[in-house]
Structures are given as C-alpha cells and as structure tokens.
Structure 1
Amino acid sequence: MLIPNQIKILRQYFYPSLGGILGGISVSTHFWLLFMPISLFILWKGSKRRISNFCWGFFFILISHSWLYDLHPLTWLGFSWLASLIISTLILLFCAFLGGILVYLWGWLVEIILWKEDVFKMKILSLAVKVFFLSLTWGLGELILSQTPFFWIGLGESLIPGDIYLAGLARWIGASGLCVLQILIGFWIFYIQGRWERKLYFKKIFLLGLLVFIFLHLFGGLKTPIKRNYEYPVAIWQTNIPTREKLKINDQFIEEKLSIAQKYAISNKAKLLVAPEGTLSNNFYFSKAIKVNTLSGGFRNSNNELRSSLLGFQIGDKSFTSFIDKNRLVPIGEKIPRFLDSFSKGLSAVGGIQPGSDSRFFDPKFTPPLAVAICYEISDGLEIRKAINSGAKLIITAANLDPYPAKLYNQFLSLARLRSIENKKNNLLVSNTGPSGLVQDDGKIIKLLDYDVEKNEIVFPNFSSEKTFYTKFGDKPILFLFILFLGLNFFWKIN
C-alpha cells in the first residue's frame, strides 16, 4: 500500500513525466490517437502543481526532440569524442529545460484562472470561457514561438500522421488552431474523469463531446477536388551525400553527378530538375552549360557573407541567375554570434552563415511562382502562407537532414504535410538523404523515395491558384478569439 509521501511523488513527478513522454512519443508517429489525448489529460490533471507542469514540458521536449543527441559524434568538426558527447547532451537538455519552463508558466496561468474554485462544480459557461482562454493561450504561444529560431514542432503539427482527418481542419484554422483543439480534447477527458471520480453526472458531457469529436473528423476529412495538371514533370535528385563526407568531395564530382541527373530528367521530358539543400559549393560554376532548368540548393557570397540558398539555373547557364536565400537558420548549427566567428565554425560543415530575406516567395521566371522552404523553414507556416498569398502555386521544400535519425525525417514530413493542408498546395520535397517526394494538397503522400539512397525520380506536381480559408485569413480568427476570451475572463463577470 502506498504511503502519502509516495502518492505525492507519483502525482507531482512520475505521472506528469509519463504524460510528457507519451506526448513526445506521439509527435509525428501513428500513436497520436492513443497517446496524445492521454498525455494532455495528464497535463490538465496535474496543472495545479507547478512542478508537474515543468516535468510534463521537460519530458515532452526531451522525447520529441531526442534526435538532437544524434549530433554526436562531432569529431569530424574537430571536437573530441567526450566534448562532442557533452555538447550534444547539453543542447538536448537545454531545449528540454526551456520546454519545461514554458509549460510551467502556462500552468501558473492555469492556477490563477482555473483553480481558484472547484472546477467540477463550476457553471459550464464560466468554465468554458476559462478553458477556452487557457487553450488559446497555449495555441498563441506556439504561434509566437514558430516565428523564432527556437521552434521546430509542437502540438499543432503532432496530428500528422496519427490523425490525418482531424488535421484536415488546418485548412480552416491552421497549426495554432489544431493546437487549441488538442488542448480542449485533453480537458474534456480530464473533466469527464473528474466528474466520474466524484460521482457527478457526466454522460451528457461525454456524449456531446464525442459527437463533436466525430463531427470534427468528418468535417476535416471533407475536401473539394481540384483540377490536376499532369503536364509538368519534375525530376528530383536525392543526392545521399553524407554531411561528414562533403568536405572531401570536389566540384567535379558534383558536376558529374548532376550531369547524370540532367540526362535522366531530359530522357523523361522533365521541365525542371530540383536538387537538395547544400548540394553546390559556394558560387559553383559549371564547366558546361546547364541542359535543363534547374533549382539546386547551394551557397553564395553576398557582401562578404555566406548564404545558404536555392539557386536557379536556366538552360544555357553556367552560374546561377536567380536565388532565394535561407532565412531561418539553426541556432549554433548554422548561425553563431559574430563575436564567436574567430573561435568556432558552428556545428555544420560550412561554418556560420547569414540569413537572407524573410520572404519565401520565389519567382525564377522559368517556373510558375513558388513558395520555398529551405529545411528548418518548414516549421514557419506564416511565411509560407504569405508566399502563397503573393502568388506562389507550389511549395518546394529543399533540405539536408543528415546525420539525424528517422525520427527527425518523420517530423519533417509531418510539417511538410501540414503546410500542404493549410494552403491546399502540393509540396515538392527534395532532401539529401530523405524525405524526398511529393505531398498532395490534402497532406497525403503521392510519392516518397526510400531514405539513405541516391535516387533520381520523376514526379508531377500540381500548380494551383486556389486558396483556403486559412491562406486568406491566417491566424486572425485565433487572435480575435484570444482577445474575446481575454476580455470575458478579466473584464466581464459571468454569473
């Protein structure tokens, strides 16, 4: 039999830690329907205890971002094996600690607003106003974080691939709306369990919530077909060149490989060839003119600064004639403080690089206008949405995820699929080691190449001018609701 002190430890530390672990596992896996609602139920259950909130957030990030450990070993960058282990571990622990602090602060707000009285005896209208405000606060928090370099994947993106039908609501409410929805689902389970435990009537609330849950799935699964264009074949080249080996590869080797990819593209009547992030070295110059219109990841100099870019080559070019620079850079990994320039290269093969314009709209003239995400930028749905509102008809995502494990590939794919759903646009993926392929406008995968192999493939992306409700209005409805419920909570007493 457990003694009171052991029960206290379970409630404050073990259960919330378990909840965070379940939530972390469910991010970008097929276990969302099984794990995430339970995880969020545990979050609400322990929300009156601040240390419980910290534990949930710490372990959620620790598990969902555990791929950060795979930075190790960094010996190829000159670090010792031990220093590499310490650096990789500290980066992961720092991110987990930051996640714990953020959930701790949210829990503090829950304590102030919700736990002043008995939640289970509160009037439904008053309770709904408080819970909606708290859920919107979390959603708005993820929205704000998504505009900073310190964000990769959150609750909003965690629905894919676990619940693609509920994720379909993103075309209306975006990732932040999906985040709010999941927090509300967690509270619904918590509230039902609490009333059942206290022998209070709960059947109506359970049935109503279940009906709403089913309706949301049906509504999210509805889609209107768009006219597809199969007349624009695109060749993608998954290079499969490990980052650790790039320093040993010369330009001639890359040009020979790219020549093979061009021949494949021409033989299949492709109108465009796309290669992943970082394929070409700084200001790469071809010895022979390009034979097919090409978009390739590479590097360029601008005002004595190195930029990572997607470079455009028209037929007949030997050097790029159009480009879009990467804007969102990985902290430490790509962008390092200037005062450290003389001491460190950063945790990448090329050293520190500088950001370009924040606009993701790219019109190379030899293709229809594009919305471009270079690797880490796929986590920023706002800029992609802006590019589509500027006239982009297709999303192109170029990346290099080596040396990270399949967990990161899956999360990257989840982000890419959600961006497609939000804007009803095909997403053409080209990555060094994967994922590479084509995502449909409803988030379903049309084509996906095997990971960790070199491969040339033809896909048929659809160029569309259609816009979703989310594309047109973005997160304005979420912001409006936040302001509304903020006012109801603090300036209007509900009887």
Structure 2
Amino acid sequence: MSILKRVRLSGTGRGLTLFFLGLLTGLSLPPWGIWGLAWVGLAPVWIVATVNADKKGIGARFRQGFFWAACWGLGFYGWGLAWITGLHPLTWMGLSPVQSLAVALGAWFIVTVWGVVLVGAWGGIMAALITQEKSWLLELLMGVTLWCLLEGLWTRSPLWWTSYALTQSPGNLAILHWGQVSGPNTICGLLLLVNGMIAQAWKQSLTYPKRLKLWLLPILVWGITQGIGWLWLQTPLSPHNQAPLQIGLIQGNIPTRIKLTPRGINQALERYSQSYQSLVNQGADVVLTPEAAIPLVWPDPRLNELNHGIAEHQIPLWLGVFMPVPNQTNTLTQSLITLTGKTTPFSQFNKVKLVPLGEYIPEFLQGFISRLSTATSQLRPGTLDQQFQTPFGPAIVGICFDSAFSGVFRAQAQRGGQWIMTVANNDPYDATMMRQHQAQDILRAIETDRYGIRATNTGLSGVTDPHGHTLWLSDYREWQTYLAKIYLRQTQTLYVQYGDWLTPILVGLGGVWWLQTTLSKS
C-alpha cells in the first residue's frame, strides 16, 4: 500500500489541503510575522511531491509534482501578495472603476502566478529526479540546491519580491544574520534543509515506525543554526571612532491621486521646504526625502526656491526627482540627487529596478493605460555599476522596488558604500506592503552590515542598525520628520565580498552526486 493511500486523501483533498497549508504558511510573512511556520510549511509539499513518484514516467512525475507544489504556492503567494490589489482605485489615471479593478486584479494574478511557477517548478523537478533508489541525504541536498537555484534565477526577473527568506524578517533577527554568509539564499537553504528533514522523518516513519530518532535531526539542526545566529546577533558592533552622521528624514504623506497634480506639486514644495527648515534647525547634517518627493523634471524653475534655501543654510538635501537622460529625447530616470545649493547636482543615483505598470507599461497594455505620471517621457533604469557619492562619503542607495534585489545593495557595498538609504513612495498600498518593504530593507542592512535609513511618502519610514534592530519607525500615512543618528561602516561581509557563492557549490555537489548515483544504477 502506498504512503499516499495511507494518508487517506484524494487528489482533490490533497490539492485543497496544500492550498490551505500555503495560506497558513503565508502568515509567516510580514505583517503577520509568525516566522516559525516557514520552518515547517514546505514539508507537506516535499512529501506529497516526491513520495512514490517513481511509480510513473518522468513526464507524469514532473506534472504531478508541479501541480501539488503549485497548489501550495497559490495559497502562499496569493495571500502574501494580496496587497497589490491596493492599486484600486486608479480612477485618477483616467480609468473607469471597472478598468481599475481589472488592472489591480490582473497585477495580483500575474505576480502570484510567477511565484506559483517557481514553487511548481521546484516540486516538479524534485518529483522527476528523485526515486526510491536515491538516498535521503541526496534528496535533501537536491531540494535545498534546487530552491536556491530557482530563487537566484527569479531575482533576475522584473517581478521578484517574495523570497522565502522574507518570512524571517523582521521577527527572527538571529537567523537573518546567516545572510552575511552568502545572501538571502543562505537563509532559504537553512529553511529548506529543516523542511526537508521533517519530510524525510515523516516518510520514513510511515514506512518504518520505529525510526523515530529521525525527528530529532530537524530539531537539532534548527537549534544549532538558531543558536549560532543568536550569538551572532549578540556580538557588539565595532566601536565608532567618528561622530554620528545626523540625517533628517521627511515623510511628506501626499497621496498619489493628487501628488501628480498642480495642487499636489505645490503641497510637496511647501511641505518639503518647511520640513527641511525644521530639520536644519534641529541640527541635521543632511536631509533625505522620499522617491519622487517632488515629481518634477530637474531643473524645473519651481525648485529654485528650495535650492536657494539649501544654498543659504549650506546643509545638503537628497531629493527624489525625475532627471533627463543626456542626449536622449523624452527619456527620464527616477533619481535621487544631492543638492548643495549649486545649479547642478553634486551626485545622482538612478533607480535600477523599474516597477511594471507603475513606471513602465508593457507593450500589450500601452493602449489601455496612457499615463502614469506628469512626465510623459519613458523611464530608463539605472545600472548596477553606480556609486552614489556624497559630501560625507559613498552611500548605498535603493529606490523603492530596488529593495527586493539584494545584488543592487551588495554591488554598492563592495565599492565602498558606508550606509544604506532607501527611498520609496509606497502609496497607494496599505500597511501590509509597507511592512514587507521594511522587512526587505532589514535583510539588506544585515547582509551588508550597514546602518539603514528609509524615507517614504506615506510610510513606513525608519532607521535600522546593522543587526536589524528597528531604532525608529514612522506612523502610517502621517506627515512626519525625524532626526536619525547613524554611523558609517566599511566592513565587508562574506556576501559583500563574494556574492552568492553557496548556490554554485551546492549545484556542483548535487549534480555530481546525482549523476554518480544514476549512472551506478544503470
């Protein structure tokens, strides 16, 4: 009698069960943050996708494994990314309510399916490659390797957001320190390892009821990795020999529905000028504004008054604006620039990862959505080789969607960036998205061993230390200012120096072992 029959679930029952288990595991993501669920949530998928799969042909095994894993992924990613429906209503863009709802639901569907394909591919490939002749240790290695490989590939796509490592941020700071080894895939590898050990213990206990000692293995591995991470977390930060850099943060809270109108632009000019003056009076060394804080194209004459104030006080301002691309007509970048009161910016950083629909329109929708900003020009992404120079030294910058891509931050840290600044709009999304965005920035701060500051339009702005502790967090949808004190750091973690070196090693080991086992059986 097969193990699946002994579990006594029909095909439909297994699919629905996996779907609801995916929903449950989704509660490990911010803002719910029940991070312990992620350590066990993938084990049922692993069991159902691989057990007794070798009774069928390789194609049938792949399709079956893909389907079971996709059922789980539909629940996990669908629930975790439901905040995308906050795009609705988009009537301010000229869409009817029905069109607006269709765009919001369509965006949710697309990003959910992209996550479903990831976990489905993992389940399908595992089912296709794993047979009863393969050792359980090889199955563990392949499961961990394959997930890390797929996530690495998915980060190269324009729709990436939900790494499985995000389930541990910000609640499990101890385990997040493993990200300093080889980036977020180190955390994913540990999560998959424990889930895989639970799956192996379950499968072997059904076949061999007396092998209960296997249940101790995932508990032991989890305890060791958590314990090492906790000791890591308790390590004091290196002493600071310089005075802190005092950075004023402004959260303007100007809703997107009016932000791009003359009324919104005037409100932005007034609020950011007033907030800049207030922070200068408090002793700020420099002031940071959100992404597209004033959605104008530099050098718009309406920015002159703000620039004159900077010249008067001699306190720099990092301003989010649109910048023209030299020698290219009607082409702009979404940028953060350093203003020192002179006629030209001191430095400029261009957003690397543009948001589909939000900042560029896929060709099949170009006739449906005609305007996303006051700038009718197309936006051009920045490059990974940028380095944002400031009067205080090189900084690491991420603009909104960049936060989901660890490589954007690693590249700048490797070239000497001494602290992280992230700026975002985050409107019209709700607090769920904002909590996930903050969690992304916490991952980046720990991976690079840097202080991180974030300024957003509607929330959540904040300050994070290199251990991931939140030193300050703004209120949701409030106009606020804050004077942050951070220290510049020049440490280089293993991840900053060598990138994701772990995944290629796992791929090499797993590939050689699988081939050797397969050839020896043939």
Tell me the TM-score normalized by structure 2. 0.87
The answer for the alignment partner of 2:247 in structure 1 is 234
- For residues 177-201 of structure 1, give each alpha carbon's deviation from its aligned partner in whole angstroms, at most 9, with x where no partner exists: 1112111211122222233333433
Give the corresponding residue for 2:122: 106
Contact 2:23 2:76 in 1 (8 A): yes
Residues 455-487 of structure 1 deviation map (CA, whole Å, 9 limit, x = unaligned) = 111001211001112111211122122122111
Map 1:318-333 to 2 at 5 A.
320-333=345-358
**Aligned twin of 2:338:** 312
The Cα of 1:110 is off from its aligned counterpart by 0.9
Contact 2:249 2:483 in 1 (8 A): yes
Aligned pair count reads 485
Does structure 1 residue 484 correspond to structure 2 residue 509?
yes
Partner of 1:297: 320
Whether the aligned pair in 2 keeps the contact of 1:16 and 1:46 (CA below 8 Å) is no
Matches within 5 A, 1:73-472: 73-114=89-130, 116-117=131-132, 126-221=135-230, 222=232, 223-228=235-240, 229-248=242-261, 249=263, 251-280=265-294, 281-283=296-298, 284=300, 285-287=303-305, 288-290=308-310, 291=313, 292-302=315-325, 303-304=328-329, 305-314=331-340, 316-317=341-342, 320-337=345-362, 344-345=369-370, 350=375, 353-359=378-384, 361-472=386-497
Residue 383 of structure 2 aligns with an amino acid whose one-letter code is D
SS of the residue 2:472 aligns to: strand
Distance (whole Å) between structure 1 residues aligned to residue 68 and residue 364 of structure 2: 39
Residues 241-250 or 390-399, more deviating: 241-250
Secondary structure (helix, strand or coil) at the match of 1:19 reads helix
Residues 205 and 347 of structure 1: CA distance in aligned 2, closer, same or farther (over 3 Å) = farther
Cα distance in structure 1, aligned partners of 2:482 and 2:39: 39
Instruction: Kindly indicate whether the alpha-carbon contact (under 8 Å) linking 2:356 and 2:362 is maintained by their aligned counterparts in 1.
Output: no
Q: Which moved more, 1:369-378 or 1:11-20?
A: 11-20
* Amino acid aligned to 1:312: T
Partners of 1:5 and 1:185 in 2: how far apart?
A: 22
Q: Which residue of 1 aligns with 2:80?
A: 64
* In 2: Cα distance, 1:104 partner to 1:322 partner: 44
| One-letter amino acid of the counterpart of residue 487, structure 1 | V
What is the aligned partner in structure 1 of residue 56 from structure 2? none
Change (3 A) 1:204 1:4: closer
Contact persistence 1:300–1:306 (CA under 8 A): yes
Alpha-carbon distance in 1 for matches of 2:412, 2:6: 57
1:3-60 deviation digits (Å, cap 9, x = unpaired)? 9999314543111101221222212245444422332122112214332112112222
Residue 208 of structure 1: how far off its partner (Å): 3.3
CA contact under 8 A between 2:40 and 2:194: conserved in structure 1? no
* Equivalent residues of 2:18, 2:71 under 8 A apart: yes
Check whether the contact 2:165–2:185 (CA below 8 A) recurs between aligned residues.
Answer: yes
Which one-letter code corresponds to 1:301 in the other structure?
P
Residues in 1 aligned to 2:347 and 2:367: alpha-carbon distance in whole angstroms:
31
The 3 A distance-change label for structure 1 pair 31 and 210 is same
What amino acid sits opposite 1:198 in the alignment? T
Larger CA deviation: 339-348 vs 284-293: 339-348
Give the C-alpha shift of residue 395 in structure 1.
0.8
Letter in 2 for 1:26: S
RMSD across aligned positions (CA) = 2.5
- State the percentage of identical aligned residues: 23
1:135-156 Cα distance to aligned partner (Å, 9 max, x none): 1111121122112211012202
Letter in 1 for 2:465: Q
Per-residue deviation, 1:361: 4.1
The residue identity in structure 2 corresponding to 1:88 is A
**Cα gap change, 1:5/1:156 in structure 2, threshold over 3 Å: closer, same or farther?**
closer
TM-score normalised by structure 1 residue count = 0.91
Work out the CA distance in 2 between the residues paired with 1:5 and 1:425: 48
- What per-residue deviation string (whole Å, max 9, x for no partner) do you get for residues 357-414 of structure 1? 3226433341210111000001110121011010100111000101101111111011
Asked if 1 retains the 8 angstrom alpha-carbon contact of 2:198 and 2:218, the reply is no
Counterpart of 2:23? 21
Deviates more, 1:361-370 or 1:414-423: 361-370
* Residue equivalent to 1:8: 10
Q: Is the 8 A contact 2:319 2:338 kept in 1?
A: yes
SS at match of 2:9: helix
Distance 2:371 2:214 in 1: 53
Distance 1:254 1:102, change over 3 A: closer
Could you tell me how far apart the structure 1 residues matched to 2:71 and 2:354 are?
Answer: 29
**Cα offset, 1:453, TM superposition:** 0.5
Structure 2: give runs of 5+ residues left out of the alignment. Answer: 51-63
Q: 1:117 to 1:492 in 2, by over 3 A?
A: closer
Q: In structure 2, give the amino acid aligned to 1:296.
A: L
Gap change, CA 1:53 and 1:310, over 3 Å in 2: same
